[in-house]
Amino acid sequence: MTDKDELWLKISNTFKQEMSDLNFNTWIAPLKPLYLTNTEFILLSPNRFTKKTIYNKYYDDIQKYLDFISNVKRKVVIIDRYEMDNYKDENIIQNQNIDGQRSILVSEEVAEDEKYTVEDKKPETKQPEEKTDLSPYGKNLISKYKFDTFVKGKNNELALAAALAVAQNPATAYNPLFIHGKAGLGKTHLMHAIAHEILKNNPKARVIYTTSESFTNELISSIGDKSTKKNSQFREKYRNIDVLLIDDIQFIAGKQGTQEEFFHTFNELYNHNKQIILSSDRPPKEIKTLEERLVSRFEWGLMADIQPPDYETRVAIINEYLDRNNTSLTPEIIDYIAMNVKSNIRELEGAVMNVVGQKTLIGDGNITLDLAKNVLKQLIADTQLRPVTIDLIIESVCDRYNVSQDDLLSKKRSKQIAYPRQIAMYVSRKLLDISLVSIASSFGKDHSTVMHGIKKIENDIKKSSEFDEEIDNLINYIQNS
């Protein structure tokens, strides 16, 4: 087993223990380890939709697990098949192995009998990334996510000020603190920074950071245990602490058992003057199927939103990233990236990383603006919003469910084709201001077939919160394409 395969097996097994089989098989299992370099771990996504969802929901956890497992600091990069051409030159990559030995890695596209190892000079011993070890409750924190690496801007002033206040005086400033904003804008960074600061000021503080999905899975595991001991341990863990931070709290929506347990956990902590910090991709009132009693409690404290960064903040983020990685780019390239990658910090850093990676491959360290533009051509094209049309919806559904457009628009009735077709009809009705007759015409069907398809998807959404989430992800992907 190659190093990249071994690393990915460990990371994916961690995910498998912490998420439902459906989510694991939908999002994590399709990813394939492609390349392992001295600075990057490159994963191949089967399509753009999966890649975008991974970046929005699971990227931080993949990076966290990689940092924890490997002694070599690497950045996770996720590409899809359309970006493969950008990595053609990396079929053979010199690589720092997990055990510190040097070798040549060959991509899976190269024949097995062409793989070989080479002698090389003894590499410098790389020290593992320093990890937070201030408290037994803070061992899963990402060390780089601290206040001194968080770039302040007009887009995040309130959230940053509130986070600092809570970190300095837990349970006295804002309780709960509810941070909301779209994916990739720094919510998780602030959550970790708060925990780091509290533990720095009080190493004995009982601080737990987790995600709503991990909280749910732990709860399910404790309930599934035949004895009451595990359930008691679960409640002891989450109720006998000083600070609770839960990321992506919106994912408890629709999960009745989880909401019930968290309601009592919230009350126990709040009534004993313990700090609660929550993050979400939207304000409490906009979280569908979240119980009203939780909505009201989430609004008891301060709600602070984070918006996409403006130009000046994007430049500052780029410079901070370059400083942190001991590298540089010309002002013209920095300006080009800041002007063209506007959606979130994650994509901004991804753009910088791609250019820096190309700079490293060149060898002499020089990279022109034209070369940077070529490297970023596909990424920037992906970030430019396209108007939502029925063609875009069909294209996105086909990409997500691995169906050809010819099949989707054909008369074929197999479930593998008919169900994505019904999803496309439902999404068209939801996003476009057009009649059922127009939708029917676009799909080559009659009015009654479209009505049946839409009704089918509506019923399935009501039956399954996971399917509801899947459709929400698809709609968000289409709206941000």
Q: pLDDT digit string (tens) for 252-261? A: 888 888 899 9
Q: Please give the structure tokens belonging to residue 392.
A: 């875009």
Q: Residue 95 — very low, low, confident or very high, per pLDDT cuts 50/70/90? A: very low
- Please enumerate in sequence order all residues whose Cβ is within 8 A of that of 207, keeping only pairs 6 or more positions apart, or say none: 135, 137, 138, 195, 198, 199, 241, 242, 243, 245
Asked whether the predicted pLDDT for residue 440 surpasses 50, the reply is yes
- Of 54-58, 444-448, 450-454, the range with the lowest mean pLDDT is 54-58
Percent of the chain with pLDDT over 90: 37
Q: Which residue has the higher pLDDT, 297 or 125?
A: 297
Q: According to the annotation, is 188 in a ligand binding site?
A: yes
Strand partners, 210: 246
Bridge-partner residues for 33, per DSSP? 43
SS (H, E, C) 151-169: CCCCCCHHHHHHHHHHHHC
Q: What is the mean pLDDT of residues 315-330?
A: 88
Q: What span, in angstroms and rounded, lies between the C-alpha atoms of 44 and 77?
A: 9
Confidence of residue 273 (pLDDT cuts 50, 70, 90): very high
Q: Identify whether the C-beta of residue 148 lies closer than 8 Å to the C-beta of residue 311.
A: no
Domains and CATH numbers, the chain: 3-114 (3.30.300.180), 147-305 (3.40.50.300), 324-383 (1.10.8), 390-479 (1.10.1750.10)
Residue 58 to residue 37: CA distance in whole angstroms: 21
Residue 377 annotated as lining a ligand binding site: no
Q: Residue 385 has what pLDDT?
A: 56
C-alpha–C-alpha distance, residues 402 and 354, integer Å: 27
- pLDDT of amino acid 342: 82
pLDDT of res. 224: 67
Does the annotation place 186 within a ligand binding site?
yes
| 187 known member of a binding site | yes
Are 338 and 51 contacting, i.e. CB atoms less than 8 angstroms apart? no
Q: Which residues pair with 41 in a beta bridge?
A: 36, 76
In terms of Cα–Cα distance, which of 151, 149, 171 is closest to 302? 171
- What are the distances in angstroms from CA 330 to CA 35, 146, 378? 28, 27, 21
Please check the confidence at residue 38 and state whether its pLDDT lies above 90. no
**pLDDT tens-digit profile of 152-197?**
888 899 999 999 999 999 988 799 999 999 888 999 999 999 999 9
| Rounded distance between C-alpha atoms, residue 428 and residue 422, angstroms | 10
Encoding tokens for residue 147? 């206040």
Mean pLDDT for the stretch of residues 2-10: 86
Spatial contact of 110 and 92, defined as CB atoms under 8 Å apart:
yes
Distance CA 473, CA 470 (A): 5
Give me the pLDDT at residue 271, please: 94
Q: Report CA dihedral (17, 18, 21, 27) to the nearest 10 degrees.
A: -120
For residues 349 and 313, the answer to whether their CB atoms sit within 8 Å is no
Q: Residue 207 forms beta bridges with which residues? A: 243
Residue 307 is classified by DSSP as: P
Predicted local confidence at residue 137, as pLDDT: 67
Q: Is the peptide bond before 136 cis (omega within 30 degrees of 0)?
A: no
* DSSP-based helix, strand, coil % in the chain, nearest 5: 55, 10, 35
Is the pLDDT score of 335 beyond 50? yes
Reported confidence tier of residue 113, pLDDT bands at 50, 70, 90: very low
